[in-house]
Structure 1
Amino acid sequence: MDHLRTRPGAYTDDDYSSDVFDTLDHFKVLVIGAGGLGCEILKNLALSGFKSVDVIDMDTIDVSNLNRQFLFRQSDVGKPKATVAADFVMKRVPSCKINAHVCKIQDMDEDYYMQFSTIICGLDSIEARRWINHLLVEMVDMDNAESLKPLIDGGTEGFKGQSRVIFPTMTSCIECQLDMHAPRAAVPLCTLATIPRQPQHCIEWAHIIKWEEERKDIQLDTDDPEHITWLYQTALKRAQEFGIQGVTYSMTQGVVKNIIPAIASTNAIIAASCCNEAFKLATNSAPFLANPAAIPDGEDPDTYNPEDEFAPVPNNYMLYTGDNSIYTFTFGHKRKPDCPVCGNLPKDLSVPGDQTLQELVDSFAERPEAQLKKPNLRTGEKSLFYSSPEGLRQQTEGNLNKKLRDLLEDGEEVAVSDPAFSIAFRYKIHLI
C-alpha cells in the first residue's frame, strides 16, 4: 500500500515526496453513515493510511443489509452499525483508530464537528445532508481558517451515483444543488383516502393521513423503529381491508424514507471516489474537486473572473451512470446568489394574485429548490401560516383560503421555514 500511495502520478507536483503522508497521522475524518456507502468508505480510509476516524450512525443492522454491507455478519443483526463497522475495520487495520457514535448527527454540537479536518457523508437522506450542510456553513468564521471544513458527499441510486466536494461559503453547497434531486412524485390524496390499489398507497395513507389523525402531537421520526412499526402495522390493517398483498416492514421504511434499492458495485465506486478526494485534500497529491483557487481548463488566468455571472467554475461534481456501461462525467456547479444557506439574496417567485395561500403552501413540497413538507410562512410584519405547532396552526389556518393579493404586497419578501430544518428560505413574491 505504501508503494501505491507514494509513487508520483500524472498530476503530482515536481517536489512531491512521501513526506506528505505524515499529515495522515493527524488528519481527522468524520464519516456520517455506516451503511452501504459508509462500510466502503471506512474500509478505504483505513487502507489509505488515515489514522483517526469517527463514524456516526443511529441505525441497527438488519438482515437485508448483509448482501452489500460487507462489514456485517449474520450474528451482528440487531447490533448498532457504527459500532460493528468500527470494530471490524480496526481488527483488520489496527493502525486506524475509529470512534463509533450511535446517535443522530443533530445530537452532536458545533464543537464536536469543529475538531475534524474533513467530513464525508454516506447518507441515504436528503434531509440529513441539508442539516449538516447548513451547520458547516454556519460554522465558518472568516477570521479562522480552521473553521472551514470541506464536505465530501457521496450518494447512490441503483446503478447511478455521485460524489462532490463542497467548501462551505466558497463553492456551491448542498442547498445550491438541491434542484438536482427531483421531489418524489405525489400520490393523489383521494386515492390514498378512498381506493388504494398498491401496498405503497396503504403505507402513504398511514404516513400522511392516519399519523396526523392519531399522533399529530408527535413529530414523526423516520429513524425511530417504534414510529416505523406503528406505520407498518397501521398500513398492514389498511391493506387487509382492501385485499392488498405486499406490505412489509422493510417496504414501509423504503416508502417513508424514500429509499432506493442499493447496488454493491455502485457503492464501491462512489466510496472510492469520496476517499480519493479525502486523500487528495490531506496530501495535495493531485488536484481535488472544488478547489476554489483553481482556474477551469481553457480559461485565461489573466482575464478569468469567477464572480462573473457566466464564468465557468472549477469541476466540483462527479456523476456516475452505470446503467449500460461505466461512465463518469465531471462538471462545475455554480453557487446560487439566492441560496437560502450560503447566499444572501431572496429568490424571485412569480405567482398569480388570485391564487390562494393554500395553493402556495402546497407548492413548496414540489418546488425543486425547497421540497418542504410542513412549510411555515411569514413576512416581516405578520405570520401567514404555521403548519405547527397546533396552537399557531389554529391561529393562522384561516388565511389558507384567502387570495395572495389580499395578504401580500407585490414584491413583498416572505420567509418560508420547515420544522425539519433550521433554514429560512427567502422569497420575493411578485403578483401577476
Structure 2
Amino acid sequence: MRNLSSIQSLVTNVGQFNEYSDIYSAPDSFQALQSSKVLVIGAGGLGCEILKNLSMTGFRDIHIIDMDTIDLSNLNRQFLFRYADIGKSKAEVATKFILERIGNPDLKITPHFKKIQEMNLDFYRSFQVIISGLDSIEARRWINSTLYGLAEQENIIIPLVDGGTEGFRGQSRVIIPTLTSCFECSLDLLSAQTTYPVCTIANTPRLPEHCIEWASQLEWNKQFPGQKFDADDPDQVEWMYQTAKTRAAEFGIEGVTRSLTLGVVKNIIPAIASTNAIIAASCCNEVFKIITSVNPILDNYMMYSGDDSIFTYTYSYARKQNCAVCGNAAKKIAVQKWWTLQQFIHEIKSKQEIQMTNPSLTSGDKFLYMSSPPELEEATKANLSKKMRGLINPGEEIVITDPNLPISLRVIVHLEGDDDDPEFSLQA
C-alpha cells in the first residue's frame, strides 16, 4: 500500500499564492481530501490517467462512468487494459486494475457501465467535484448544462474540470457554474468536422480519407439500407476499413489504415499517450487544489501545444452573453427572406457555435417544427417547405431545442435580402 506522507507534505506547506493563508487549516484540508467524493467521466486515454492519478493522490471515494467497451485499438494508450480485456467494460476493468495494483483497503472506486444521461440528478448532486475526460462534444455539453442547471435552480455548485486532447495538443479548464464561462461558451473554438464533396469521393478519390468517406457515406447505405453505422462496433469498423482499403487499391491510393478509418468515421484525431498524461496531470492538479484549497485554482483555461515545442498558455475565457447555458441574451441570426424553414434548420445545424443535430423550433406559442415525438413531427413537417417570412415576424424570437441536449437556445431572427432565391431568379 502506498504511503501518503508525500501528499501530507503538500497539504501542510501552504502555497505562497494562497489568498486565505491566515485561516487555512492543513488538518482540515487533508480530511477534505480523504472524505471528498469525486466523479471521473470517461475511462479512455485521459480517464485511465486521471483515475490512476486521483487514486495515488489521497482521494478515497472515486466513481467512474463510461458506456464503452475495450477495443484492440485502445491498448496502445489506455494502459489499464490488456488484450484479454477486449470486449469488457472500460469502467469496470479500470476499477479492478487500480484496486488490485494499489492495494489500499481504504480506497473505494465505484464503476458505472452506463451513459452519463442515464444517471439521475441525485447521483450528480452527491459529488464535490466532477472531472471529465470525454472525447464526445455532445456528452461534455450535456454534463456542463446539467451542472449549470443544479447551480441555478438549487444553488448547488459543483466544479467541473474538463480535459481534452488532439494529437500533440490539449487543454484543461476549470468551470465553476454561474461564476466562470462554461463549456458551451467555447464551442466555436472546437475544430470543425472536415467534409469532402460527394462528387469527389464518388468519382475521383485522391486521398485515403476520400475512400473511407465513400465507404461510410455511400457504400454502407447501399449494403445495409436503413441500418445506422455504429463506430463503436469493432465488426462494423472492420467492414468499413476493408471496404475503404479495397476502394483505395482500385485507384492506386495508399495510406488507408484501420486507425485512420476509425479516426475518420468517429471524427477523431489519433491520441498521443504523452499528451494524455500531461493533460490528465493538469486536470488532477486542479481537482487537488479545489478540494484542499492549498493553492488558487486555474483561472480558467490552459492550452498545451507539444507538436512544435512545449508551450502552454493560460488565460481567463470570458463568458458569452448569448451562451445557451450561462448567458442571458438571445443569439442574433440573419435569415434570408427566401429561405424555407428547412434551409434555416440546415443553417443552424452547420453553425459551429450551435451544433445541434436534431433541432426542434418553436416561435411564440406555436410549433414551427418538432423533431419528436412522431406525432408532432408529422403535424409540423409541412412547415419545412414554407418560407421563413411567412412563418415568423421580423425580429421574432425562436427557441431551439435538441432531444440530446438539456438546453434551450434563444435566437432572434432578422429577415433580410430578396423575397425570392437569387439563383432561381437569375436562371429564370
Instruction: State whether TM-score is above 0.5.
Output: yes
* Shift in alpha-carbon separation, 1:141–1:218, aligned structure 2, 3 A: farther
| Cα deviation 1:230-279 (Å, max 9, x = unaligned) | 76687678778878776666544422321111111111111111111111
**Aligned AA (1:126):** I
Q: Distance in 1 between matches of 2:94 and 2:14?
A: 32
Is the 2:66–2:91 Cα contact (8 Å) retained in structure 1? yes
| Cα deviation 1:370-394 (Å, max 9, x = unaligned) | 1223333332243334456666555
Q: Aligned to 1:137, what secondary structure does the other structure show?
A: helix
* 1:108 corresponding residue in structure 2: 119
For residues 108-147 of structure 1, the aligned pairs below 5 Å read 108-140=119-151, 145=155, 147=156
Q: Aligned to 2:183, what secondary structure does the other structure show?
A: coil
* Shift in alpha-carbon separation, 1:287–1:340, aligned structure 2, 3 A: same
**Aligned AA (1:101):** H
Q: Distance in 1 between matches of 2:380 and 2:230?
A: 25
* 1:309 corresponding residue in structure 2: none
**Aligned AA (1:316):** N
Matched, 1:3 2:9: yes
Is the 1:199–1:244 Cα contact (8 Å) retained in structure 2? yes
Q: Distance in 1 between matches of 2:304 and 2:377?
A: 44
Q: Distance in 1 between matches of 2:399 and 2:316?
A: 29
| Cα deviation 1:191-241 (Å, max 9, x = unaligned) | 455555555445545655677789897777654667757766876787788
**Aligned AA (1:325):** S
* 2:305 corresponding residue in structure 1: 321
| Cα deviation 1:64-95 (Å, max 9, x = unaligned) | 22222222223323322111211222223313
For residues 342-361 of structure 1, the aligned pairs below 5 Å read 342-361=326-345
Is the 2:14–2:295 Cα contact (8 Å) retained in structure 1? no
For residues 34-183 of structure 1, the aligned pairs below 5 Å read 34-93=43-102, 94=104, 95-140=106-151, 145=155, 147-183=156-192
Matched, 1:18 2:26: yes
Is the 1:183–1:371 Cα contact (8 Å) retained in structure 2? no
- Uncovered stretches (5+) of structure 2, i.e. residues with no partner: 1-5, 417-428
Q: Aligned to 1:129, what secondary structure does the other structure show?
A: helix
Q: TM-score, normalised by structure 1?
A: 0.83
Matched, 1:30 2:14: no
Q: TM-score, normalised by structure 2?
A: 0.83
Is the 1:125–1:257 Cα contact (8 Å) retained in structure 2? no
Q: Aligned to 2:114, what secondary structure does the other structure show?
A: coil
Q: Distance in 2 between matches of 1:238 and 1:390?
A: 38
1:355 positional shift: 3.1
Matched, 1:427 2:405: no
Out of 74-83 and 99-108, give the one that drifted further.
74-83
Matched, 1:340 2:342: no
Out of 366-375 and 96-105, give the one that drifted further.
366-375
Q: Distance in 1 between matches of 2:281 and 2:256?
A: 35
Q: Distance in 1 between matches of 2:337 and 2:222?
A: 32
**Aligned AA (2:133):** G
Out of 72-81 and 239-248, give the one that drifted further.
239-248
Is the 2:71–2:234 Cα contact (8 Å) retained in structure 1? no
Is the 2:128–2:158 Cα contact (8 Å) retained in structure 1? yes
- Uncovered stretches (5+) of structure 1, i.e. residues with no partner: 290-314
**Corresponding residue to 2:395 among 397, 411, 423:** 411
Q: Aligned to 1:278, what secondary structure does the other structure show?
A: helix
1:138 positional shift: 1.7
**Aligned AA (2:196):** V
**Aligned AA (1:256):** V
Is the 1:183–1:366 Cα contact (8 Å) retained in structure 2? no
1:284 positional shift: 0.5
Q: Distance in 1 between matches of 2:229 and 2:375?
A: 18
Q: Distance in 2 between matches of 1:208 and 1:392?
A: 29
1:413 positional shift: 1.2
For residues 240-279 of structure 1, the aligned pairs below 5 Å read 250-279=259-288
1:346 positional shift: 1.6
**Aligned AA (1:369):** E
Q: Distance in 2 between matches of 1:158 and 1:97?
A: 32
Is the 2:152–2:178 Cα contact (8 Å) retained in structure 1? no
Q: Distance in 1 between matches of 2:292 and 2:171?
A: 23
* 2:315 corresponding residue in structure 1: 331
Q: Distance in 1 between matches of 2:374 and 2:230?
A: 18
Out of 422-431 and 61-70, give the one that drifted further.
61-70
Q: Aligned to 1:139, what secondary structure does the other structure show?
A: helix
Is the 1:364–1:373 Cα contact (8 Å) retained in structure 2? no
* Shift in alpha-carbon separation, 1:386–1:248, aligned structure 2, 3 A: farther
Q: Between Structure 1 and Structure 2, how many residues are aligned?
A: 405
Q: RMSD value over aligned CA atoms?
A: 3.0
